[in-house]
Amino acid sequence: MLLCQPIFLIFAFLSIPTGVLSRRGNGDSSSDSGTSSDSDDSSSSGGTYVCSDDHKLTTTGLQPSYYLNYTMVAGDPGAYTDWNGLYFQGEASFDYVIRDLPINNTYSGTDCPKDHRSIRMLGIAWVGPRTPTPADLHNPFTMGFQAWQSDNPIANITYSYNSCDADVNLVHLKTTVDWREYVQETNRDVEGAIDAVVLNVTQVGNDSHEVQFRGVYDVSSLRSAQTIFASDGTHEDQIHLPAKTCSTMGDILIGWPSGTMINGTMTNNTLTLSISGTTVAGFGDLNGSHNEQVNVTFSIDFKGTYDSANSSQVLHVGASDQSLVSFEKATSGAVAWASPRSLLAISLVVATGMAYI
Ligand SMILES: *[C@@H]1O[C@H](CO)[C@@H](O)[C@H](O)[C@H]1NC(C)=O
Ligand SMILES: *[C@@H]1O[C@H](CO)[C@@H](O)[C@H](O)[C@H]1NC(C)=O
Ligand SMILES: *[C@@H]1O[C@H](CO)[C@@H](O)[C@H](O)[C@H]1NC(C)=O
Ligand SMILES: *[C@@H]1O[C@H](CO)[C@@H](O)[C@H](O)[C@H]1NC(C)=O
Ligand SMILES: *[C@@H]1O[C@H](CO)[C@@H](O)[C@H](O)[C@H]1NC(C)=O
Ligand SMILES: *[C@@H]1O[C@H](CO)[C@@H](O)[C@H](O)[C@H]1NC(C)=O
Ligand SMILES: *[C@@H]1O[C@H](CO)[C@@H](O)[C@H](O)[C@H]1NC(C)=O
Ligand SMILES: *[C@@H]1O[C@H](CO)[C@@H](O)[C@H](O)[C@H]1NC(C)=O
Ligand SMILES: *[C@@H]1O[C@H](CO)[C@@H](O)[C@H](O)[C@H]1NC(C)=O
Ligand SMILES: CC(=O)N[C@H]1CO[C@H](CO)[C@@H](O)[C@@H]1O
């Protein structure tokens, strides 16, 4: 179809935030929650590189990288396409309970809270229509979600994001993920995508303007040689708890355990999302991983509202045609994205495309 640009998967890896150069940033730029000093996270090399936090909210990691085949208009990254999707922003909470395992609870250093804890976060979700390729996917839409610890009001969501901390997202979900496998015989990478969560999307009761979705995260069908790659170039999509949770132990790496429940509801104006599960998690930090493991039961809840300022599409829920969810170009708000220059680029691309027909 139109605007099918050659893919540049590599672009995904070029969007590495400056902060990745110093993985944990430097102390004072850490979270806005004020209470954490993160002093044990500063670069151990004593190097002089200082990341300056520009508070720019990076959302490129919300989409599988093959979306670039459809959303990148050559020469004009801001141009409107039918696959741009839309954003929801709002508050989220990360509730968890950490339990020692029956064995392995005697290693020195595990000093984790034993009671129920909750982290307040801000988050942003992206929802976009399924692209024509890859053709073997089930979900009618793709959803991406990221949330980070913050005490800021939602109005300050952009400012609240620490662009220097490559681990800033405690939760990073894509319902469809890219995979890549290096094939020795042909000396090439083979690439594809799978629904990490196969979503069952149904109408809510008799309200035709709300849908619910539900699924279980499971990428176990991927062979071990196939690696899910992160489209934000910094780290794999994952859930983790901050390094300060258990003193000196580093991040608690929850990852994406198979069996994690994902469900929620969606209207043209609101998105609710719940992610819950339990797993045996390890620790990881700059010094590598530790032997200790803990049992973590977690529940993440997000409630977002349509972000018209940054969305070039609107969602139609319960549209008259067969599909429960459809996407249309927004008639207000982020239409400003399509500057006259963009419109010119679109018409050039369309014209070029037509020349090939
Ligand atoms: C993206 O485009 C490239 C080049 O046209 C193609 O080789 C690749 O299969 C496409 N990938 C997807 C997922 O559509
Ligand atoms: C947003 O954050 C900045 C820096 O912390 C602060 O100066 C400003 O007052 C905040 N705005 C709101 C609406 O809280
Ligand atoms: C999908 O969800 C509906 C409503 O909750 C339920 O009745 C149906 O059994 C589900 N289908 C599958 C395949 O899970
Ligand atoms: C949905 O059905 C219930 C009873 O089954 C009714 O009370 C309610 O008014 C209906 N809502 C709509 C939007 O039709
Ligand atoms: C997800 O499912 C759980 C259990 O059925 C329910 O309590 C929760 O409200 C659902 N969350 C959303 C956002 O629909
Ligand atoms: C959502 O749909 C309602 C009608 O059902 C409409 O009034 C409202 O403007 C729509 N909101 C957005 C953000 O499109
Ligand atoms: C990493 O190792 C260094 C040197 O052994 C130590 O000083 C530092 O506290 C360790 N950092 C963490 C997070 O364990
Ligand atoms: C306990 O730790 C050892 C050493 O890392 C590991 O081999 C073993 O699987 C762990 N046991 C449990 C129950 O996690
Ligand atoms: C982890 O904790 C949950 C809830 O307390 C429990 O049901 C589960 O059996 C525990 N798993 C392990 C491996 O200890
Ligand atoms: C993620 C993103 O693009 N956020 C932008 C949303 O719109 C506001 C207002 O134009 C910008 O300041 C944000 O950077």
Q: Is 312 exposed, middle or buried (0-12, 13-18, 19+ CB in 10 A)?
A: buried
Joined tokens for residue 33: 């929650």
The DSSP bridge pattern shows strands 288-306 and 270-285 to be: antiparallel
What pLDDT does residue 100 have? 83
pLDDT digits (tens, 9 = 90+) for 207-260: 789 999 999 999 888 877 777 664 443 445 789 999 889 877 888 889 889 999
Which ligand number lies closest to the CA of residue 285?
Answer: 7
Pocket of ligand 8 (CB under 6 A): 101, 103-104, 280, 291, 293
Q: Which atom of ligand 7 is nearest to the CA of 285?
A: 13
For ligand 1, atom 2, the nearest C-alpha belongs to 7
Alpha-carbon span 242 to 13, nearest angstrom = 25
Q: Which ligand is nearest to the CA of 290?
A: 8
Ligand 10 centroid distance, CA of 89 (Å):
11
User: Which residue stretches of the chain have pLDDT < 70?
Assistant: 1-48, 103-110, 228-236, 285-290, 319-322, 333-357
Within the chain, where are the H helices?
Answer: 9-14, 68-71, 157-160, 340-356
104-134 tens-digit pLDDT? 555 555 688 989 999 999 999 999 999 999 9
Q: Is 208 in the pocket of ligand 4 (CB under 6 A)?
A: no
Q: What integer pLDDT is reported at residue 54 of this predicted model? A: 87
Q: Ligand 2 centroid to 29 CA: how many Å?
A: 15
For the entire predicted model, the pTM comes to 0.79
242 lines ligand 7 (CB under 6 A): no
